Amino acid sequence: MATKLSIKEVQSYIINIPNRPPFMVDKDLAIIYGTQVKRINEAVKRNPKDFQ
């Protein structure tokens, strides 16, 4: 079971680059959701609009 993260902890994973929308890398999403990076990438391939 994944541990609960605070809002500040989740916000620390968000990357902000000027003139680009904020984003998160797959490794960090896997940590937040308590799953494998492979599963995150499979979900992105199945549902790309959900990750835009």
pTM: 0.77
DSSP per-residue letters across 22-51: -B--HHHHHHHHTS-HHHHHHHHHH-GGGG
Q: Does 39 map to a domain?
A: yes
Q: Does 17 map to a domain?
A: yes
Number of structural domains found in the chain: 1
The pLDDT mean for the chain works out to 92
CA pair distance 33, 5, nearest whole angstrom: 10
Q: Does 2 map to a domain?
A: no
**Does the structure show a pLDDT above 80 at 2?**
no
CA pair distance 44, 40, nearest whole angstrom: 6
Q: What is the pLDDT of residues 4-23, one digit of tens each?
A: 889 999 999 999 999 999 99
Q: Does 35 map to a domain?
A: yes
Contact by Cβ (8 Å): 22, 15: yes
Instruction: Pick 4 or 26 by higher pLDDT.
Output: 26
Residue ranges making up the domain that contains 18 = 7-51
**Residue 19 in tokens:** 């003139």
